[in-house]
């Protein structure tokens, strides 16, 4: 089975060990020592499946893309970018990618670590003093008690979502967050595109409200990566917008990835739809829970957790860099060791059974825990419906871009399955 390691040209001992375990886990799949080929005729089944979702009215439109070893093997735009205006979806349509932003911000933090500007075990208060004494809301029945945090929150806690920081929408803390312009006052919690203030101002205010859990106690999804965006600004002396542009999107030629849509690209921004009570796509309203302020608005708050706009082709370039150990298109963004750290489970079973969490990515640790993902696969998605995965066994990245919030369709589960069924 050692021959199977030829699939993974990775230099770190951590990843070598992970892949050896992977080979053992996939014995029933008769994994070959070579990169699996793709049956194009079976891959084309996806066209019909995606079109069926559009025809049934479950989604307005989407862009699907699959790469293998950096080569696009499948790309398909279906449905409408703006149904009411008669604007068809296209491969260069621009999507709000929400939490897909987290991966880029996490990469920035690892870059700064590699440059000696920070350590992962640094307390957040080194960069944002307001986090020197945080609190936790402890709920027992109808009683809520605010207690001090038992230890300082670290950058590692934020990267792994184990800081105890939620989006502030839970009933027993929602009013406290609302009073600070956060939680329910910010759409579904994560939305800050309409704020006329720097992200560090928002994140300093966040430190004044109680968090959901003690640091390190549990996996809690929330403002963690937005706080990291402020840390990156403080550690570098540059805005998050400039950091991402000069360190990631510029070098990787992700020319359509921005925090706010440039004026000359506004016609390419996909309209947000929402699933109604019957599961049908209807145009979402304006505002934080719908279209958002990504074309119009202050353009001052760069949300490291949910702020970017991108295209399927652009984001695929970022995924290829991660899949290829931090280097792609002649640009070295991260070291292989840093990528291995990001894409391996760092929190044991705190996340969920069979799936862990690294430094910015959910990991698949048991075959079957996340569809047909191989052990060692990783990925995430966004609140507007998008999803992505990198599978190092098949050497592929799988990407589906949608702008529908909420999305009641099962398309995010079915689409990766349709990709995997095409592997030889």
Token duo for residue 106: 């996490």
pLDDT-derived band at 324, boundaries 50, 70, 90: very high
Say if CB 340 and CB 12 are below 8 A apart.
yes
Residue percentage of the chain with pLDDT more than 90: 90
Ordered structural domains, the chain, with CATH: 104-245 (3.40.710.10)
Average pLDDT for residues 247-251, to the nearest whole number? 98
> How would DSSP label each residue in 135-158?
EEEEEETTEEEEEE-SS--BHHHH
Per-residue model confidence (pLDDT) at position 205: 98
Query: Is pLDDT of 416 > 70?
Result: yes
Token duo for residue 140: 């027992």
SS3 279: coil
Average pLDDT for residues 309-335, to the nearest whole number? 98
Q: Which phi and psi angles does 216 have, rounded to 5°?
A: 80, -5
- Return the C-alpha torsion angle 277, 278, 282, 287, nearest 10: 20
Q: Which of 1, 36, 20 is nearest to 395 (CA)?
A: 36
Per-residue model confidence (pLDDT) at position 262: 97
Q: Which of 60, 87, 90 is nearest to 77 (CA)?
A: 90
List Cα–Cα distances, 167 to 186, 339, 389, in angstroms: 9, 27, 24
Write down the mean pLDDT value for the chain. Answer: 93
Lowest-pLDDT range of 9-23, 111-125, 205-219, 354-368: 9-23
Q: Strands 396-401, 387-391: parallel, antiparallel or unpaired by DSSP?
A: antiparallel
Per-residue model confidence (pLDDT) at position 34: 76
pTM higher than the cut 0.85: yes
Say if CB 259 and CB 194 are below 8 A apart.
no
Average pLDDT for residues 52-64, to the nearest whole number? 98
pLDDT-derived band at 17, boundaries 50, 70, 90: very low
pLDDT-derived band at 35, boundaries 50, 70, 90: confident
> How would DSSP label each residue in 8-59?
-----HHHHHHHHHHHHHTGGGT--SSPPPB-HHHHTHHHHHHHHHHHTTS-
Say if CB 283 and CB 271 are below 8 A apart.
yes
Say if CB 147 and CB 138 are below 8 A apart.
yes
CB atoms within 10 A of CB 196: 10
Q: How far apart are the first and last CA of the chain?
A: 19
d(CA 210, CA 397): 38
């Amino acid at each position: 089975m050692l021959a199977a390691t030829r699939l993974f040209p990775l230099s770190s001992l951590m990843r070598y060990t992970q892949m050896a375990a992977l080979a053992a886990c996939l014995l029933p799949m008769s994994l070959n020592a070579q990169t699996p080929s793709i049956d194009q005729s079976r891959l084309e089944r996806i066209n019909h499946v995606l079109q069926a979702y559009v025809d049934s009215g479950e989604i307005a439109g989407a862009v699907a893309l699959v790469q293998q070893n950096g080569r696009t093997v499948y790309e398909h735009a279906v449905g409408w970018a703006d149904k009411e205006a008669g604007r068809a979806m296209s491969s260069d349509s621009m999507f709000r990618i929400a939490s897909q932003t987290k991966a880029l911000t996490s990469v920035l933090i690892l870059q700064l670590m590699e440059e000696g500007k920070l350590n992962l075990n640094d307390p957040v208060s080194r960069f944002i003093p307001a986090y020197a004494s945080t609190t936790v809301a402890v709920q027992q029945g109808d009683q809520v008690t605010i207690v001090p945090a038992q230890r300082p929150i670290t950058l590692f806690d934020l990267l792994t979502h184990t800081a105890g920081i939620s989006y502030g929408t839970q009933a027993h803390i929602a009013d406290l967050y609302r009073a600070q312009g956060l939680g329910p006052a910010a759409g579904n919690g994560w939305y800050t595109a309409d704020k006329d203030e720097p992200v560090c101002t928002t994140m300093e205010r966040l430190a004044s409200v109680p968090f959901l859990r003690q640091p390190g106690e549990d996996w809690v999804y929330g403002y963690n990566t937005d706080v990291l965006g402020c840390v990156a600004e403080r550690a570098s002396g540059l805005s998050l917008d400039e950091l991402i542009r000069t360190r990631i999107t510029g070098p990787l030629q992700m020319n359509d990835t921005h925090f706010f849509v440039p004026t000359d690209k506004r016609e390419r921004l996909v309209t947000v739809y929402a699933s109604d009570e019957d599961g049908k796509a209807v145009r979402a309203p304006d505002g934080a829970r719908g279209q958002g302020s990504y074309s119009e608005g202050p353009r001052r708050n760069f949300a490291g957790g949910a702020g970017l706009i991108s295209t399927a082709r652009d984001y695929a370039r970022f995924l290829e860099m991660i899949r290829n150990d931090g280097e792609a298109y002649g640009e070295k963004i991260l070291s292989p060791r840093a990528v291995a750290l990001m894409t391996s489970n760092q929190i044991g079973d705190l996340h969920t059974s069979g799936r862990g969490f690294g430094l910015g990515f959910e990991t698949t640790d048991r075959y079957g825990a996340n569809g047909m993902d191989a052990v060692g696969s990783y990925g995430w998605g966004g609140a507007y419906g998008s999803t992505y995965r990198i599978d190092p066994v098949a050497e592929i990245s799988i990407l589906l871009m949608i702008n529908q919030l909420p999305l009641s369709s099962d398309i995010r589960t079915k689409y990766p399955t349709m990709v995997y069924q095409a592997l030889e």
